[in-house]
Amino acid sequence: MRIAFLFLTLFSLQAQTFQPRISDILEGTLWAPFDPPIWDHPEISIERIGDDASIARVMLEIARRSLSLMIFGGELTYVPYDRSRGVAEDVRLTKLGEIPWGDSNLTILTTFIDRPNNSVQTTFRYFLRPEQLWRLQPWRSGSLVSAAGAGSVPWLWDAEVYSRGIEQAIKETVREWLRARHFNKPREIKVRFILREVPNFQINAGQLVTRVKIMMLPPEVRDYEYF
């Protein structure tokens, strides 16, 4: 089974440590191969992922949403599934800010669709505003929690699917971190977080597997009052 990789790297952020004031310019490359190969069949390519302009637009939107969670962060509210209590899982991610579509500070430098090698690559640049740099400063506190994890959703070539992939990965990251420290199943978990670096995406057996690294405040946990 082929595994397709989608990754986004920001050259002005270090992978091992999160230091937001390294630079006020973020430059990155979004690269996505397709699996199974479809470039030999243009009619399938257009039907499944769109024309060249549509591909570039989806790539830009994935980058915009990832950057927004790196700069502004978000709040995750998670109700775990509990069969014995008849409680269904509920996951909600609220963004605390967002880079608007058409932001003049976000520039696409190149978009290259490499048909012989079955991939597409977009390079971009984003200029952080002073207020955005200011928002990042509290996330340098030593009282924050660092965690990493992965989640998966069924894959489609759509920016909404990648957003759901990020949401699932953050939920799983928080759940696994809390599981080692909170031994009773909680009623609800609420946590504020920021992406420490951009997500890493893989496509495996029809699933979009998303890996994230986050910084978060200690989660707020509501327990059940009785069984």
Q: What's the rounded mean pLDDT across residues 124-131?
A: 88
Q: What's the rounded mean pLDDT across residues 116-123?
A: 72
| % of the chain exceeding 70 in pLDDT | 78
**Cα(201)–Cα(208) distance, rounded to whole angstroms?**
7
**Cα(196)–Cα(109) distance, rounded to whole angstroms?**
24
Give the model's confidence band at 39: pLDDT under 50 very low, under 70 low, under 90 confident, else very high. very low
Res 13 pLDDT > 50: no
Place of tokens 């420490």: 196
- With contact defined as beta carbons under 8 Å apart, do 124 and 109 qualify? yes
**Cα(227)–Cα(222) distance, rounded to whole angstroms?**
14
Higher pLDDT, 208 or 214: 214
What is residue 8's predicted lDDT score, i.e. its pLDDT?
Answer: 44
Residue-wise pLDDT for 183-213, tens only, equals 788 878 899 999 988 788 887 887 888 999 9
What is residue 45's predicted lDDT score, i.e. its pLDDT?
Answer: 52
Res 166 pLDDT > 80: yes
Best CA proximity match to 164, nearest among 51, 62, 47: 62
Least confident window among 63-72, 99-108, 152-161: 152-161
Residue-wise pLDDT for 152-161, tens only, equals 998 887 889 8
Res 36 pLDDT > 80: no
Q: What's the rounded mean pLDDT across residues 83-96?
A: 86
Least confident window among 20-24, 130-134, 141-145, 149-153: 20-24
Q: What's the rounded mean pLDDT across residues 79-98?
A: 86
What is residue 226's predicted lDDT score, i.e. its pLDDT?
Answer: 65
Biggest CA pair distance of the chain: 61
Higher pLDDT, 187 or 104: 104
Strand ranges (E), 115-172: 119-127, 145-154
Q: What's the rounded mean pLDDT across residues 145-157?
A: 90
